[in-house]
Chains A and B, each alone.
Chain A
Amino acid sequence: QKEVEQNSGPLSVPEGAIASLNCTYSDRVSQSFFWYRQYSGKSPELIMSIYSNGDKEDGRFTAQLNKASQYVSLLIRDSQPSDSATYLCAVLLSGAGSYQLTFGKGTKLSVIP
């Protein structure tokens, strides 16, 4: 069973701090990784995608990928109360004829004003 693991949290950080969200995956040959943000009662919203080892920055968000360690993370700088949500890590399942994402259970982030 190919899995994606996340710490369910909740993770609480003060406003203005850096929030660090982590994810590990079991499928060694996965090539595509995504972070989704989900507000309560809403559908997941894509915020970052990363395909190569290293860092990828987009505004206050930085995704980090280490394929050797099978680890992907998301850093949120200058956290705002509006960042309070559940963050879902997703991995593209390799070897399938279709485009299948395997999701972790999500990490709930609370940014305290």
Chain B
Amino acid sequence: ETGVTQSPTHLIKTRGQQVTLRCSSQSGHNTVSWYQQALGQGPQFIFQYYREEENGRGNFPPRFSGLQFPNYSSELNVNALELDDSALYLCASSWQGNNSPLHFGNGTRLTVT
């Protein structure tokens, strides 16, 4: 059974650019959640996708958007990057309706200059 995998591992972008981060869910999981962890902070919930639709969103602006594909993998897109978007982006997969704990992928470190 493979775990959650994220790509790329590291990314450097310039303010104003757009970025796409990718996540492959664990085998058998149909729900993907994304979190942002700024330096020195705990992870913050961005949104969750189930059956290819967003079914929960944290306090993030619309320039943070996502997709979930039929194979349950997911993308996080961020438009008009700001310096404060520099963070570790974490993805976790789960089975909807099962309150089992979340296991995170290795994350993508995004640096915006």
A binding-site residues for B, Cβ under 8 Å: 4, 32, 34, 42-46, 49, 88, 90, 92-93, 96-106
Contact with A along B79-113 (1 / 0, CB 8 A): 00000000010100010100101111111000000
Residue of B nearest to A41 (CB): B109
- On chain B, which size bracket covers the interface? 20 to 34
Q: Which residues of A contact B88 (CB under 8 A)?
A: 43
Interface residue B41 (Cβ < 8 Å from any Cβ of A): yes
Q: Which of A4, A44, A45, A99 contacts B99 (CB 8 A)?
A: A99
| Known interface pairs A96-B56, A99-B48; A44-B101 also in contact (CB < 8 Å) | no
15 contacts between A and B (CB under 8 A): A34-B101, A42-B106, A44-B43, A46-B101, A46-B102, A49-B101, A88-B42, A88-B43, A93-B45, A97-B55, A98-B33, A99-B48, A99-B56, A101-B45, A105-B42
Assembly CA distance A87 to B111 (angstroms)? 24
Report the minimal beta-carbon distance from B55 to chain A, rounded to whole angstroms. Answer: 5
Q: Which residues of A contact B58 (CB under 8 A)?
A: 100
Interface residue B40 (Cβ < 8 Å from any Cβ of A): yes
Q: Which of A32, A44, A99, A100 contacts B90 (CB 8 A)?
A: A44
B binding-site residues for A, Cβ under 8 Å: 31, 33, 35, 40-45, 48, 50, 55-56, 58, 88, 90, 94, 96, 99, 101-107
Report the minimal beta-carbon distance from A24 to chain B, rounded to whole angstroms. Answer: 14
Chain A interface, DSSP helix/strand/loop, else mixed = loop
Assess whether A102 is in contact with B45, with CB atoms less than 8 Å apart. Answer: yes
Report the minimal beta-carbon distance from A10 to chain B, rounded to whole angstroms. Answer: 12
Residue of B nearest to A1 (CB): B59
Assess whether B99 is in contact with A43, with CB atoms less than 8 Å apart. Answer: no
Assembly CA distance A106 to B40 (angstroms)? 8
Residue of A nearest to B50 (CB): A98
Report the minimal beta-carbon distance from A53 to chain B, rounded to whole angstroms. Answer: 17
Residue of A nearest to B33 (CB): A99
Assess whether A103 is in contact with B31, with CB atoms less than 8 Å apart. Answer: no
Beyond A49-B101, A97-B56, list 18 extra A-B contacts (CB 8 Å).
A4-B42, A34-B102, A43-B104, A43-B105, A44-B43, A88-B42, A88-B43, A96-B56, A98-B48, A98-B55, A99-B31, A99-B96, A100-B56, A100-B58, A101-B35, A101-B45, A103-B42, A103-B43
